[in-house]
């Protein structure tokens, strides 16, 4: 077979895939088209002995596969979280480590909220309410969706430890890149909000409970 | 990578002129007596940075609208000092001010020669550039070395240089210096908030501690260190309830009266004495 035909045909097909990749608006289709373009270009570059192209796409292919897998895993984890314990552990791979010293303040009340935190180790206290947050707690996940975007309390580190942080803009990027993730993220945030309301209602009922026997009986 | 992307985003937003929203809105319910000070603050901060930055100022003021124990006098002082701290002096600001200086006909423009420490200059750059530069300066023991800088409108070259330095304000909010200032402002506002809740009589003294930090260079660094010493040694323990100081305002005034030394030893000693007279919980 004439190699020049293969070369021209392959280049035309690869061009279509490269253009299609660039037109994708969201991350998963973009990666899928990226992978298809990589495979096609590797397949064509072998018989035509175009080794630089082959090397480039041999590097890009695993990268695209890794990122696609990461995105699909993210959607799966968020879905799972919505249907089970409402945990936000799935965010961990996207977070960066931040060591905290005793006395360090992670954020102040009324400050513009820009990050959410996952407590890995150490002790942390909400200054205004005096509540201590346990290891494994997520802080500031609702601030991203609140209209004013402001912190409602101050978080202080009282024993050195480590937190993981992710900026709201990073989560927003994930949201925009992946609409399915965005949908489940909204469901998860709403579910956590409703859970907070339920907890508050339960606490209020507990507070009111001793007063109930004193309440006048209705006929 | 995030820092690099932030720089690109900020620059593109600036080029596309997307970062400038409508004029900043002062908080609803702002007392009439505070309004002129706040309006001056907004105008200055638009000139200093941008309308978005001035809106941040306005949002910070909103925290005190309708708060108990906040008199018009106290609120005006918060607004005035907040403007001052949010328009901190860095080489970019000095270039901006120099450019805005009127030139008197028949008189040559005044040339300002100021000395900056290298780490001070580097801290005005975006983190992505500043951090590696700072690392390199520290490795060669040059971070504390001072360099003279001329701010002059005497020649075209001088004006162009001032314009370039002034243009760097677009990246100011990505700098390490801005991050330090942001954290400081938030801590100061937090301490005012806690004073209003725990010891309202000391609120004015806490507000006025902002005057301890001025300018740049040695005075700025010593002022900043002294402020943290006073807050960590007196105000915070008093608000946390670990230290009972009957007259916190007086204790702060006395600590502020201590002459500053490079290592802060005198202030440390004075705070120790003040704490010895207080009751430890």
Q: What is the pLDDT of residues B58-117, one digit of tens each?
A: 999 999 999 988 999 999 999 999 999 999 999 999 999 999 888 777 787 788 888 888
By CB neighbour count within 10 A (0-12 exposed, 13-18 middle, 19+ buried), where does A179 fall? Answer: middle
Instruction: Flag whether A214 is in a domain.
Output: no
Residue A16, min C-alpha distance to chain B (Å): 29
Asked if residue A152 and residue A97 are part of one domain, the reply reads: yes
The shares of helix, strand and coil residues in chain B, as percent rounded to the nearest 5, are: 65, 5, 30
In a domain, A127, yes or no: yes
Res B176 pLDDT > 80: yes
In angstroms, the CA B23 to CA B43 distance is 10
Whether A67 and A123 share a structural domain: no
Q: Nearest-5° angle of CA B84, CA B147, CA B183?
A: 35
Q: What residues of A are in contact with residue B190 (Cβ under 8 Å)? A: 105, 108-109, 154
Question: What backbone phi and psi angles, to 5 degrees, belong to B116?
Answer: -125, 145
Query: Among the three residues A56, A82, A108, which one is the final residue of a domain in this structure?
Result: A82
Q: Which of A112, A154, A170 sits opposite B190 (nearest CB)?
A: A154
Q: Please say whether the beta carbons of B83 and B211 come within 8 A.
A: no
Q: What is the pLDDT of residues B219-269, one digit of tens each?
A: 898 999 999 999 999 999 999 888 888 889 999 999 999 988 888 889 999
Report if residue A217 sits inside a domain. no
Residue labelled with tokens 């075209």: B156
Q: Which residue matches tokens 């942080």?
A: A165
Count A/B contacts: CB-CB distance under 8 Å.
21
Q: How close B160 gets to chain A, by Cα (Å)?
A: 36
Distance CA B31, CA A57 (A): 64
The verdict on residue A209 lying in a domain is: no
For B95-111, write each residue's pLDDT tens digit. Answer: 999 998 887 777 877 88
More confident residue, B18 or B109: B109
Q: Which residue of A has its CA nearest to B191?
A: A108
Distance CA B176, CA B117 (A): 15
Which residue of A97, A104, A111, A174 to mutate against B (max B Cβ within 10 Å)?
Answer: A111
Domain boundary among A82, A111, A131: A82
What pLDDT band is residue A216 in, cutting at 50, 70 and 90? Answer: very low
Q: Please tell me the total number of residues recorded for chain A in this structure.
A: 219
Same domain, A156 and A197: yes
Shared domain for A96 and A78, answered yes or no, is no
Residues 6+ apart with CB under 8 A from A81: A87, A88, A89, A90, A188
- Band the pLDDT of A2: cuts 50, 70, 90: low
User: Are B54 and B15 spatial neighbours (Cβ–Cβ below 8 Å)?
Assistant: no
CA distance A189 to A77: 14
Instruction: Indicate if A115 and A163 belong to the same structural domain.
Output: yes
ipTM of the complex: 0.78
Check pLDDT > 70 for residue B4.
no
Find the mean pLDDT for residues A85-90: 68
pLDDT at B185: 96
CB A198 within 8 A of CB A135: no
State residue A219's pLDDT score.
Answer: 38
Is the CB of B254 inside 8 Å of chain A's CB atoms? no
Nearest to B186 among A108, A127, A167 (CB): A108
Determine, for residues B193 and A105 on separate chains, whether the beta-carbon distance falls below 8 Å: no
| CB pair distance less than 8 Å for B189 and A108 | yes
Contacts of B265 (CB under 8 A, 6+ apart): none
Q: Both A160 and A59 in a single domain?
A: no
Measured CA to CA, the distance from residue B53 to residue B185 in angstroms comes to 13
Contact B81, B57 (CB under 8 A): no
Q: Quick one: pLDDT at residue A217?
A: 39
Put simply, whether B193 touches A (Cβ < 8 Å) is yes
For residue B3, the distance in angstroms to the closest alpha carbon of chain A comes to: 12
Number of domains in chain A: 2
Residues A135, A164: one domain?
A: yes
Per-residue burial over B21-36, b = 16 or more CB atoms within 10 Å of its CB, e = otherwise: eeebebbeebbeebee
The answer on A98 and A72 residing in a single domain is no
Which structural domain, as residue segments, surrounds residue A35?
Answer: 3-82
Q: Which residue of B has its CA nearest to A111?
A: B186
Distance between CA atoms of A152 and B237, rounded to whole angstroms?
Answer: 22
| pLDDT, tens digit (0-9, with 9 covering 90-100), for A156-209 | 999 999 998 888 887 887 777 777 777 777 777 787 778 778 878 888 888 776
Is residue B150 a contact partner of residue B25, using CB atoms and an 8 Å limit?
A: no
Q: Is the pLDDT at A215 greater than 50, yes or no? A: no
| Average pLDDT estimate for B168-181 | 89
If pLDDT is split at 50, 70 and 90, which confidence band does B19 have? low
- Summarised one tens digit per residue, pLDDT across range B155-167 is 889 899 999 999 8
Distance, in Å, from the CA atom of A190 to the CA atom of A201, rounded to the nearest integer, reads 16
Is residue B22 scored above 80 in pLDDT? no
Name every chain A residue with its beta carbon within 8 A of the beta carbon of B60.
110
- The CATH number of residue A153's host domain is 2.60.120.10
Among the partner residues A105, A110, A167, nearest to B187 by beta-carbon distance: A105
Q: Do B186 and A111 touch (CB under 8 A)?
A: yes
Q: How far is B53 from chain A (nearest CA, A)?
A: 12
pLDDT band at B281 (very low <50, low <70, confident <90, very high): low
User: What 3-state class would DSSP assign to B251?
Assistant: helix
Of A82, A114, A146, the residue that ends a domain is A82
Beta strands A132-133 and A115-126, pairing class? antiparallel
Is A21 in the same domain as A66?
yes
For residues A82-101, average pLDDT: 77
Task: Kindly tell me the burial class for residue A213, based on how many C-beta atoms sit within 10 Å of its own C-beta (0-12, 13-18, 19 or more).
Answer: exposed
Q: Answer yes or no: do B190 and A108 touch at CB < 8 A.
A: yes
Sorting pLDDT into bands at 50, 70 and 90, what band is B45? Answer: very high
Nearest CA in chain B to A125: B240
Residues A104 and A163 in one domain: yes
Which of A219 and A72 is assigned the larger pLDDT? A72
Residue A100 lies in a domain: yes
| Preferred mutation among B56, B59, B62, B179 to probe A, highest tally of A CBs within 10 A | B59
Q: Is residue A74 part of a domain?
A: yes
**How close, in Å, is residue A216 to chain B by CA atoms?**
37
Position A78 scores a pLDDT of 74
* A99/A191 same-domain check: yes
Residue A35 lies in a domain: yes
Residues of chain A in contact with residue B193, where contact means CB-CB under 8 angstroms, are 109-110
Mean pLDDT value across residues B139-154:
87
Phi-psi region of B217 (alpha: psi -120 to 50; beta: other; left: phi over 0): left
Sort out which chain A residues have CB atoms less than 8 A from B189's CB and list them. 108, 110
In this structure, is residue A211 part of a structural domain? no
Instruction: Give how far B239 is from chain A: nearest CA, Å.
Output: 10
Q: CB-based contact (8 Å) between B63 and chain A?
A: yes
For residue A39, with 0-12 CB atoms within 10 Å meaning exposed, 13-18 middle and 19 or more buried, which class applies?
middle
Convert the pLDDT of each residue in B190-210 to its tens digit: 999 999 999 999 999 999 999
A110: nearest CB among B63, B187, B232: B63
Same domain for A105 and A53, yes or no, is: no
Closest CA of chain A from B186, distance in Å: 7
pTM for this model (two decimals): 0.78
pLDDT digits (tens, 9 = 90+) for B24-37: 899 999 999 999 99
Alpha-carbon span B174 to B104, nearest angstrom = 36
Model confidence at B53: pLDDT above 80: yes
DSSP B188-222: HHHHHHHHHHH-GGGHHHHHHGGGG--SSHHHHHH
Once rounded to an integer, what is the mean pLDDT over residues A120-129? 88
């Amino acid at each position: 077979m004439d190699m020049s035909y293969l070369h021209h045909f392959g280049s035309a097909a690869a061009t279509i895939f490269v253009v299609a990749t660039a037109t994708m608006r969201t991350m998963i289709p973009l990666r899928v088209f990226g992978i298809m373009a990589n495979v096609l270009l590797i397949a064509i570059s072998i018989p035509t002995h175009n080794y630089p192209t082959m090397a480039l796409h041999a590097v890009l292919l695993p990268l695209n596969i890794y990122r696609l897998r990461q995105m699909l895993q993210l959607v799966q984890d968020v879905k799972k979280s919505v249907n089970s314990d409402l945990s936000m552990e799935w965010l961990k791979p996207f977070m960066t480590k931040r060591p905290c010293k005793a006395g360090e303040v992670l954020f102040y009340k009324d400050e513009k909220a820009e990050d959410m935190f996952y407590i890995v180790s150490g002790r942390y206290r909400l200054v205004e309410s005096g509540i201590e947050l346990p290891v494994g707690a997520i802080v500031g996940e609702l601030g991203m969706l609140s209209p004013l975007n402001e912190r409602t309390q101050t978080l202080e580190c009282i024993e050195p430890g480590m937190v993981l942080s992710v900026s709201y803009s990073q989560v927003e990027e994930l949201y925009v890149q992946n609409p399915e993730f965005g949908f489940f993220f909204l469901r998860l945030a709403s579910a956590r909000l409703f859970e907070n309301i339920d907890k508050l209602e339960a606490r209020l009922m507990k507070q009111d409970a001793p007063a109930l026997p004193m309440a006048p009986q209705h006929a | 990578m995030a820092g690099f992307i932030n720089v690109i985003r900020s620059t593109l937003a600036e080029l596309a002129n997307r970062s400038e929203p409508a004029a900043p809105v002062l908080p609803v319910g702002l007392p009439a007596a505070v309004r002129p000070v706040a309006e001056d603050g907004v105008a200055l901060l638009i000139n200093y940075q941008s309308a978005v930055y001035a809106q941040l100022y306005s949002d910070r003021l909103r925290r005190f609208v309708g708060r108990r124990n906040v008199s018009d006098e106290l609120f005006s002082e918060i607004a005035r000092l907040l403007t001052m701290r949010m328009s901190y002096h860095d080489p970019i600001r000095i270039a901006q001010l120099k450019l805005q200086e009127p030139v008197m006909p028949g008189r040559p423009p005044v040339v300002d020669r100021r000395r900056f420490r290298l780490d001070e200059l580097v801290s005005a750059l975006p983190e992505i550039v500043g951090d590696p530069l700072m690392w390199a300066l520290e490795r060669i023991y040059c971070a504390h070395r001072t360099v003279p800088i001329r701010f002059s409108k005497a020649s075209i070259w001088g004006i162009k240089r001032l314009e370039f330095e002034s243009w760097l304000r677009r990246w100011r909010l990505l700098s390490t210096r801005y991050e330090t200032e942001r954290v400081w402002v938030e801590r100061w506002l937090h301490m005012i908030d806690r004073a209003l809740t725990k010891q309202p009589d000391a609120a004015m003294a806490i507000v006025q501690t902002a005057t301890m930090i001025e300018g740049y260079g040695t005075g700025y660094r010593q002022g900043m260190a002294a402020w943290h010493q006073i807050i960590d040694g007196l105000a915070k323990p008093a608000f946390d309830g670990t230290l009972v100081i009957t007259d916190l305002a007086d204790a702060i005034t006395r600590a502020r009266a201590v002459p500053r030394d490079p290592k802060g030893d005198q202030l440390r000693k004075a705070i120790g004495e003040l704490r010895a007279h207080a009751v430890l919980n």
